[in-house]
Amino acid sequence: MELTDVPLHAVAHSRAGDKGNRVNLSLMPYDPALYPLLAGQVTEARVLALFAHRGATRCTRHDLPLIHAFNFVIDDALEGGVNGSLNLDGHGKSLSFRLLALTVRVPASSLPARG
Amino acid sequence: MLRMSDVFLVGNGAGFSGDRVDAPIPVVRSLVARGLPAAMFFECLAERTIALAQIEKRRDPEAGYEPMLERLLEPILADCAGAGIPILGNFGAANPMAAARCVARLARRLGLPALRIGVVTGDDVSDAVDLAALPAHEADAGFDLSAWTLVSANAYIGAAPLAEALARGAQVVVAGRTSDPSLAIAPLMHHFGWAEDDWQALAQGAACGHLLECGSQVTGGVFWDPGCKDIPDPANIGFPIAEVGRDGSLVITKPEGTGGIVDLRVVKEQLLYELHDPAAYLTPDVVLDITGVTLDQAGPDRVALRGARGHARPDRLKVTACYEGSWLGEGEVSVAGPNALARARATADVLLARVRQRGLGRRARADLVGVSSVHDSDDGALWRGYDGPEPPEIRIRLAVESATRDDADQAAREALAMLCCGTAGTAGARWRVTPRILTRSFLVPREMVPTEVTVREARAWN
């Protein structure tokens, strides 16, 4: 099978939410068949590393196989939280797209055709 | 077979203070046309909105509630009253009584002097609870709040007092801080007669409230990603309607003829929004467990959710306290064209040096908007390490936390000074100062948060 490296954005979607100094990022493959593959590649350690420059301390992944979704909860990723942060995006609402820039290796045949 | 009389419709008209003010109109039109028992709710209170409202109230005792309240309700109030559709909202913010007077004035102006307006109070615990004696539950990190001044402390009230207001005939229920899903649970409790410990039924209500509480976020807002996740007519996204069945069914949909989309992708995104442990989403009414949830596309713009489970509600309520005590100064300038990146980096470094040199801030940060900002850290790790192509334009932003308003203003004005003292071609300065509000939450025993329900006709609210 031909494998290709793509940003998660090519095969999955995500939404960010916040509570205090913690952000949660959902992650859902467009094709449920990719769920096990993402489970193997999008690990807590890789996601935590995306936020290391902001001092994130912990990442927990909750798996929801019935709806083919993951929920990543990242502690201390918001540099003080919505109110304490000096960031323009104190809520971290844009951070779903930092996750979606992460590279994954998928079968070329699984990429959706985009017009 | 579910009889239509066993279906209750819940419509949402706002997902935050600042939402589109014309959004409720198609939702109410749809509810009226369908003719089923229904309610509308408005969620207008983010974590610190109530603190900003409290500051407004200090300035003007009749202020401190949702500033768009009248604008939101004017086009729909008569239709809702006529069709027996109650309206619930946390639009009372820091001043529910003043909000009720505002609704009453509007009702009288619209020829509805007999409209029954209910108010739920008791969420404001700033005088009643000694927060200093309680351990913090969640907090903005790294701050010593001993130097800060308490602005507001509000408990997240559950559905029961809201349902009581409905039982006493309220057609509009004005609340301050409530749990967001409770605004949807209350009319369901009232309509179906759910007991306060019917965890399974309440879980269905909590799932409904959770999915609807952010308005268009479950019908295409926050979701659309042009070319990847397209939605029809994003300028007119329809706000959501839930069909809740007595049998435990739950369908999310939206008014006909509106933009946006309701499909599995968008519902999954909102189901997990602001959720941590999917087995334990805490509300004052029930602990919601979505680990057994399944979703089905039941028709165009219709998604059915099954399998929400409920567990006994927490015995304590969350109280969020807001504190003031510092100021945020922000200043911005732009550069564009050849060598923009070098000029932007130099500008950022000089701005940070000026703030340090003048001792204006406790913390400072610079962003290069167009290179890296919202994904970056306070020390600019990403833009300092950037080695990609030269962007055509960059906006440099300085953000400074200062102890006094004047220091924050002086720091922000350093961006302005760059118009003459800065690099070649520096332009477009803007600067502003805002008070900073920090929050900390606590868990308090329910009995420390008694609520009170007042229901009066519009003509009697003065």
> With the CA atoms of B275, B374, A44 and A13 taken in that order, what torsion angle do they form, in degrees rounded to the nearest 10?
70
User: Residues B319, B153: contact at Cβ < 8 Å?
Assistant: yes
How confident is the model over B287-301, as a mean pLDDT? 98
Across A106-110, B212-216, B366-370, least confident range: A106-110
Mean pLDDT for chain B?
95
B276 inside 8 A of chain A by CB: yes
B397 inside 8 A of chain A by CB: yes
Q: Are the Cβ atoms of B272 and A69 closer than 8 angstroms?
A: yes
Structural domain includes residue A97:
yes
Q: How many domains does chain A have?
A: 1
Contacts of A62 in chain B (CB under 8 A): 276-278
What confidence tens digit (pLDDT) does each residue in B181-229 have? 999 999 999 999 999 999 999 999 999 999 999 999 999 999 999 999 9
Block residue for tokens 């919601």? B288
B152 inside 8 A of chain A by CB: no
What confidence tens digit (pLDDT) does each residue in B92-149 have? 999 999 999 999 999 999 999 999 999 999 999 998 888 877 777 776 655 566 778 8
Structural domain includes residue A35:
yes
Please report the ipTM that was assigned to this predicted complex. Answer: 0.97
Structural domain includes residue A25:
yes
Vertex B102: Cα angle to B100 and B105 (nearest 5): 110
CA B451 from centroid of its chain's CA atoms: 22
Burial of B307 (0-12, 13-18, 19+ CB in 10 A): middle
A19 falls in which pLDDT band (50, 70, 90)?
confident
User: Residues B66, B91: contact at Cβ < 8 Å?
Assistant: yes
- pLDDT score for B30: 98
Closest partner residue to B275 (CB to CB) among A17, A30, A98 is: A17
- pLDDT score for A115: 39
Closest partner residue to A71 (CB to CB) among B275, B292, B294 is: B275
Structural domain includes residue A115:
no
3-state secondary structure of B367: strand
Question: Using CA atoms, how far apart are residues B65 and B32, in angstroms rounded to an integer?
Answer: 28
- Shortest distance between the Cα of A108 and any Cα of chain B, in A, equals 17
- pLDDT score for B137: 77
- Determine the structural domain holding residue A10 and report its residue range: 3-110
How confident is the model over B330-343, as a mean pLDDT? 98
Structural domain includes residue A106:
yes
The residue among A50, A51, A83, A85 with the most chain B CBs within 10 A of its CB, best to mutate, is: A83
Residues 6 or more apart whose CB falls under 8 angstroms from that of B377 comprise A53, A54, A55, A79
Structural domain includes residue A42:
yes
- pLDDT score for A110: 83
> For residue A68, what is the domain's CATH number?
3.30.70
B235 inside 8 A of chain A by CB: no
Structural domain includes residue A61:
yes
Structural domain includes residue A26:
yes
Chains A, B: CB pairs < 8 Å: 139
